[in-house]
């Protein structure tokens, strides 16, 4: 309880940190209560209300605040439901790649030798192909585009950053006196990893994971924009942008609002991540 109180005290001291937290909480609320908040069924087509402009423009009305797309679907409702997909994919992909990268980084750094070489060369190979390219080719080859596939593919292109980070942290910690002392006293590898190494690796892991949620959301949106990510009837911000692209010259709002939503979400997560980095940095007096 005391920890939580201190956390919020520190958070309120930073304006960008607070802004980031507020945005993240708002988006989480949008995702959780999309069903209650959305004024319309996000997939309901209304051919009498096609490409209606936002409420404040001529021809718009308040039943469709942000207007409708070319099938008469309400843009606000679709954006609210889209936040569910973005968050779910972003968080699941981060958890998966974080877990894989964490284990491989720990093993690679702690045991060294051939294991280290093999893991790091595989990491180099993955690193040599731009992530979006590898994800696109994999998704198109496997011809499947469910949420699970998408999460696995995004995890496959982002585990390398964790593995490298954790490995370098482990290498740094391995040389420290407290680890050597523990080893001399006869502690097992498992004990050292869980009691001495992991607690010291957490801070940088948390910072990278936060940033990685933002990266995964952009990747998901990009893949959906290319048409290989989330498929209808599921709604993704990237997919909405892709739908709106063809209407750009005549109906700008269809592609504009989902883009703003992605930008705000990423900004919020990045602000929060930057603040976490400042607070969790052992050189700063943080939590």
Q: Phi first, then psi: give them for residue 252, nearest 5 degrees.
A: -60, -30
Any residues with CB less than 8 A from the CB of 111 and at least 6 apart, and which? none
Site for another protein in 235-254 (CB under 8 A): 238, 241, 245, 248-249, 252
Binding track over 84-123 against another protein, x by CB under 8 A: ---------------------------------x---xx-
Site for another protein in 217-236 (CB under 8 A): 218, 221-222, 225-226
Q: Check residue 140 for interaction with another protein (CB under 8 A).
A: yes
* Residue of 129, 148, 181, 287 that binds another protein (CB under 8 A): 129
Any residues with CB less than 8 A from the CB of 240 and at least 6 apart, and which? 69, 75, 78, 79, 82, 254, 255, 258
Site for another protein in 166-205 (CB under 8 A): none
* Smallest separation (angstroms) from another protein to the CB of 242: 9
Q: Tell me, by CB under 8 A, how many residues bind another protein.
A: 42
Scanning the chain, the segments in alpha helix (DSSP H) are 2-13, 15-32, 34-37, 75-111, 113-127, 131-142, 147-174, 177-184, 189-192, 198-226, 237-245, 253-280
* Angle at the Cα of 86 from the Cα atoms of 216 and 5, rounded to 5 degrees: 85
Q: Which is nearer to another protein, 6 or 117 (CB)?
A: 117
212 neighbors 89 (Cβ within 8 angstroms): no
Q: How many CA atoms lie within 13 A of 248 on its CB side?
A: 5
Q: Phi first, then psi: give them for residue 68, nearest 5 degrees.
A: -130, 165
Q: Which is nearer to another protein, 24 or 193 (CB)?
A: 24
* Residue of 51, 84, 103, 126 that binds another protein (CB under 8 A): 126
Q: Which residues bind another protein (CB under 8 A)?
A: 117, 121-122, 124-134, 136-138, 140-142, 214, 218, 221-222, 225-226, 238, 241, 245, 248-249, 252, 255-256, 259, 262-264, 266-267, 270-271
């Amino acid at each position: 309880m005391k920890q939580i109180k201190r956390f919020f005290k520190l958070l309120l001291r930073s304006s960008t940190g607070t802004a980031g937290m507020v945005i993240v909480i708002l988006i989480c609320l949008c995702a959780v209560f999309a069903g209650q908040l959305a004024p319309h069924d996000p997939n309901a087509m209304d051919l009498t209300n096609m490409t209606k402009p936002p409420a404040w423009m001529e021809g718009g009305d308040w039943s469709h605040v942000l207007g409708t797309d070319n099938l008469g679907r309400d843009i606000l409702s679709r954006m609210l439901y889209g936040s569910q997909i973005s968050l779910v994919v972003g968080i699941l992909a981060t958890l998966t790649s974080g877990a894989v990268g964490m284990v491989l980084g720990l093993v690679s750094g702690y045991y060294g030798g051939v294991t280290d070489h093999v893991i790091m060369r595989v990491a180099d190979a993955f690193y040599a192909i731009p992530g979006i390219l590898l994800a696109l080719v994999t998704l198109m080859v496997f011809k499947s585009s469910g949420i699970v596939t998408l999460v696995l593919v995004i995890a496959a292109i982002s585990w390398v950053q964790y593995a490298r980070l954790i490995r370098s942290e482990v290498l740094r910690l391995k040389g420290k006196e407290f680890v050597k002392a523990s080893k001399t006293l006869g502690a097992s590898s498992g004990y050292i990893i869980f009691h001495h190494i992991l607690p010291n690796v957490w801070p940088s892991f948390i910072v990278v994971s936060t940033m990685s949620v933002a990266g995964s959301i952009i990747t998901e949106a990009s893949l959906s924009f290319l048409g290989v990510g989330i498929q209808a009837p599921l709604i993704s911000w990237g997919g909405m942008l892709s739908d709106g692209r063809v209407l750009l010259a005549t109906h700008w709002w269809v592609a504009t609002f989902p883009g703003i939503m992605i930008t705000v979400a990423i900004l919020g997560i990045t602000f929060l991540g930057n603040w976490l980095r400042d607070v969790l940095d052992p050189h700063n007096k943080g939590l």
